[in-house]
Amino acid sequence: MKQRGFTLLEVMVALGILGFIVVATHQILQTTLRTNEISEQTIAELEALQTTFRLMEQDFSQITRRVARNEAGDSVEQYLLVGRNLLNSQYDGVAFIRDGWRNPAYLLPRSELQAIAYRVIDDKLERVYKVYVDSLDNSEPRSHVLIEDVEEFKLTFLDKKDKWQDQWRDKELPLAVEVELKLKDMLPLKRKFLIPGSGGS
C-alpha cells in the first residue's frame, strides 16, 4: 500500500496553527506576568499605607504635653507644631513629642520621650525623629520614607467646640487630628486619630 505524505498546503496550515498557538501563549504569559507585577505593586502599596497609618496612630495616640528646646535653649511654646511647608515639607508638616518610646530598665542613654515629625520631601512621606527631644546636643534627626508618589498631605484639627480647623495655633492639643493622604492614581484617603488627654490643664 502506497503511503501518502503531507502536501505543502497541509504543512503551511499546520505551521500557521502552531504559530498562532505560540503567539497566543506568549501573550497570555506576558499578560499573566504583568498582572502579577501589578498585583505585587498594589499589595506593596497597601502594606505601606497600613504601616503608615499604624505608625501615625501610635504616634498621635501618645502625644505628650511637653515643649522642646532649640539649640539656643529657648522653649517652643506649642505642643503641636503644624503648618504648610513646615520642616521644608512640600505640603503640610507636623511635629510633636510622644511618650512611650520603650527603653527597658533605661538601658539606653535616652528617655522614653521621642520628638516626631511627618513631612513630604520629593513626593515621599517621611517620618522624622530625634533620639533626644531637645536640640541642645546638635544631633541630626533621622528620617524614614514611609510611602512614595504623594500628591497631597493635609491635616485638620478638631477643637473643643467640635469644629474642624485647617490650622492649629493653640498651645493645647486638639481633640483629634484628621490626616488626608493623596497618592498618585489613587483617591484621597482620610484617617482620624484621637488625641488622648487633650484639652486644658
87-116: average pLDDT: 80
For residue 114, give the nearest of 91, 144, 89 by alpha carbon.
144
Domains of the chain: 58-194 (3.10.610.10)
The CA-based angle 80-81-84, given to 5 degrees, is: 140
For residue 164, give the nearest of 177, 181, 180, 182 by alpha carbon.
177
In this prediction, residue 151 carries a pLDDT of 96
Instruction: State in Å, rounded, how far the first CA of the chain is from the last one.
Output: 109
Say which range, 54-63, 107-116, 167-176, has the weakest mean pLDDT: 107-116
Residue 2, helix vs strand vs coil = coil
75-102: average pLDDT: 87
CA 10 – CA 16 distance, rounded (Å) = 10
CA 72 – CA 75 distance, rounded (Å) = 9
In this prediction, residue 201 carries a pLDDT of 38
Mean of pLDDT over the chain: 84
In this prediction, residue 29 carries a pLDDT of 83
Model pLDDT for residues 143-152, shown as the tens digit of each residue: 999 999 999 9
Q: For the whole model, what pTM was predicted?
A: 0.74
Model pLDDT for residues 15-70, shown as the tens digit of each residue: 888 888 888 888 888 888 787 777 777 788 889 999 999 999 999 999 988 877 65
For residue 98, give the nearest of 126, 137, 56, 150 by alpha carbon.
56
Share of the chain above pLDDT 70, in %: 82
Share of the chain above pLDDT 90, in %: 45
In this prediction, residue 138 carries a pLDDT of 63
| 97 strand-pairing partners | 115
Residue 122, helix vs strand vs coil = coil
In this prediction, residue 149 carries a pLDDT of 93
